[in-house]
């Protein structure tokens, strides 16, 4: 019977089959991060609202519309974290990590919150796995980070993944370009959608994301930032591309690539998966050379990415099979004393490193064997009279076992 309550809109419960699939993703990611020397960091689920206003940017959709912001009991404005990069930069400064040998390479995983319109692949509470390499402007760091995400998605078996790559240059180049772009938008104002028109001054780059025909036609003839990259920015981008090519990471250059956060400089990238539909980005990120300074720290270049766990799960379209049990301890007779013995025996077997279960539902012998089958037990240990029988659940074969030597008998396999 359903209760009177449901999980809040845009959220979901993680049930066991889903939890197993998530554990596998986290384990694969953890192994990849460990091999590449990215250490785990965890930050709080909420932060001062201003961290995101300054870090993510006041003109972004995230800050304008999507933050879960509230006043705590002390009258402070706090926000459930919509992303992880600004909090990690805050922690980097707070803990003096800028004084450590650079770069500091960090990995994280956890829930994030955005008040978006829910749809497949878009939730109000979702989970990201990500990395940040802070304190280096080397193109090697960009290429390493991108290759790590490519490796993660490949190792997980996410099908049909494509990498799109772009560069935003540095703030000066970008500012000059934005003026040029705004002029182009203003000159064609009549053909733009209302939303794009209203935001020419605030965030003209988002016009590249619009899906109405009018705006798209205007954007087809718009100048791109990539065409305006020069000097060190152009060299940096060329090196990132060359490194990825040498590493065999396939990509396409996307001159209109934009991202929903303001802190990016130079390299930006997006891994998309055609099978995902409207929310096709499975992960993405880029370089954010100005963010730490923006938060009050010394000039500190950095690069990173995050991938959405739910989008990976959707793309994989599968859940994980349950892991079975070594043994299910069964009592032949429905006697409380025997049931207690079986329960204690299961505890002892677990302490010895085996996975063992016992019936907690008061079932008769037949029901217990059925339950053993349901949970995927390889063997059933049937306690009867003075002895015990070990039954191979697959073949149904049974043999008497030495109760003084149960751990070895069970670990040794079925009948």
Binding footprint of ligand HAM on the chain (CB under 6 A)? 83-85, 114, 116, 121-123, 126, 128, 130, 132, 259-261, 281-286, 288, 304-308, 310-311
Smallest distance from the beta carbon of 127 to ligand HAM, in angstroms?
A: 8
Q: Which position has the token pair 């089958």?
A: 373
Cα–Cα distance measured from residue 403 to residue 383, given in angstroms and rounded to the nearest whole number: 9
Smallest distance from the beta carbon of 325 to ligand HAM, in angstroms?
A: 34
Cα–Cα distance measured from residue 9 to residue 370, given in angstroms and rounded to the nearest whole number: 38
Q: Which position has the token pair 């039954």?
A: 391
Q: 195: phi > 0 → left, psi -120 to 50 → alpha, else beta; which?
A: alpha
Smallest distance from the beta carbon of 281 to ligand HAM, in angstroms?
A: 4
Q: Which helix (DSSP H) or strand (DSSP E) does residue 372 occupy?
A: helix 365-374
Give the residue with the Cβ less far from ligand HAM, 119 or 405: 119
Cα–Cα distance measured from residue 336 to residue 342, given in angstroms and rounded to the nearest whole number: 10
Specify the 3-state DSSP secondary structure of 82: coil
Q: Do the Cβ atoms of 168 and 261 come closer than 8 Å?
A: no
Cα–Cα distance measured from residue 223 to residue 341, given in angstroms and rounded to the nearest whole number: 78
Give the residue with the Cβ less far from ligand HAM, 282 or 331: 282
Give the residue with the Cβ less far from ligand HAM, 122 or 182: 122
Give the residue with the Cβ less far from ligand HAM, 83 or 289: 83
Smallest distance from the beta carbon of 102 to ligand HAM, in angstroms?
A: 17
Instruction: Identify which of 297, 291, 180 has the alpha carbon closest to the alpha carbon of residue 227.
Output: 180
Give the residue with the Cβ less far from ligand HAM, 208 or 288: 288
Give the residue with the Cβ less far from ligand HAM, 290 or 308: 308
Q: Do the Cβ atoms of 241 and 165 come closer than 8 Å?
A: yes
Smallest distance from the beta carbon of 126 to ligand HAM, in angstroms?
A: 3
Give the residue with the Cβ less far from ligand HAM, 314 or 380: 314
Q: Which two tokens stand for residue 373?
A: 């089958």
Residue 98 burial (CB < 10 Å; 0-12/13-18/19+)? middle
Q: Which helix (DSSP H) or strand (DSSP E) does residue 48 occupy?
A: strand 46-48
Q: Which position has the token pair 């003096």?
A: 96
Smallest distance from the beta carbon of 81 to ligand HAM, in angstroms?
A: 10
- Pairing state between β 377-384 and 356-358: unpaired
Smallest distance from the beta carbon of 206 to ligand HAM, in angstroms?
A: 14
Smallest distance from the beta carbon of 11 to ligand HAM, in angstroms?
A: 11
Beta strand extents in 95-203 (DSSP E only): 104-113, 125-134, 161-167
Give the residue with the Cβ less far from ligand HAM, 43 or 85: 85
């Amino acid at each position: 019977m359903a209760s009177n309550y449901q999980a809040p809109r845009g959220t979901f419960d993680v049930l066991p089959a889903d939890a197993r699939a998530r554990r596998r993703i986290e384990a694969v990611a953890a192994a990849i991060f460990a091999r590449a020397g990215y250490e785990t960091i965890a930050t709080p689920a909420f932060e001062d609202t201003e961290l995101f206003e300054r870090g993510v940017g006041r003109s972004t959709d995230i800050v304008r519309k999507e933050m879960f912001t509230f006043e705590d009991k002390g009258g402070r404005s706090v926000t459930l974290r919509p992303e992880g990069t600004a909090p990690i930069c805050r922690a980097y400064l707070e803990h003096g990590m800028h004084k450590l040998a650079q770069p500091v390479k960090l990995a994280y995983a956890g829930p994030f919150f955005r008040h978006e319109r829910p749809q497949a692949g878009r939730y109000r509470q979702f989970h990201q796995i990500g990395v940040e390499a802070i304190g280096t402007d080397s193109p090697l760091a960009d290429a390493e980070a991108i290759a790590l995400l490519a490796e993660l998605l490949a190792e997980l078996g996410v099908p049909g993944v494509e990498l799109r790559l772009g560069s935003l240059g540095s703030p000066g180049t970008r500012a000059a370009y934005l003026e040029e772009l705004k002029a182009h938008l203003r000159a064609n104002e009549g053909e733009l959608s209302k939303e794009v028109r209203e935001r020419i001054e605030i965030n003209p780059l988002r016009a590249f994301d619009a899906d109405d025909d009018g705006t798209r036609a205007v954007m087809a003839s718009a100048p791109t930032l990539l065409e305006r990259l020069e000097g060190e920015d152009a060299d940096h981008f060329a090196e990132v591309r060359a490194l990825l090519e040498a590493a065999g990471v396939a990509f396409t250059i996307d001159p209109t690539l934009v991202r929903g956060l303001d802190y990016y400089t130079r390299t930006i990238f997006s891994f998309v998966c055609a099978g995902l539909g409207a929310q096709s980005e499975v992960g993405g990120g880029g370089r954010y050379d100005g963010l730490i300074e923006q938060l009050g720290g010394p000039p500190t270049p950095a690069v990173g990415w995050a991938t959405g766990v739910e989008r990976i799960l959707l793309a994989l379209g599968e859940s994980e099979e349950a892991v079975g049990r070594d043994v299910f301890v069964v009592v032949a007779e429905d006697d409380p004393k025997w049931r207690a013995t079986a329960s204690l025996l299961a505890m002892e077997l677990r302490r010895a490193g085996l996975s063992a279960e016992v019936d907690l539902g008061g079932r008769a012998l037949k029901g217990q064997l059925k339950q053993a089958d349901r949970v995927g037990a390889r063997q059933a240990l049937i306690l009867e009279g003075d002895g015990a029988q070990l039954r191979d659940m697959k073949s149904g074969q049974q043999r008497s076992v030495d109760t003084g030597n149960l751990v070895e008998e069970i670990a040794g396999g079925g009948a």
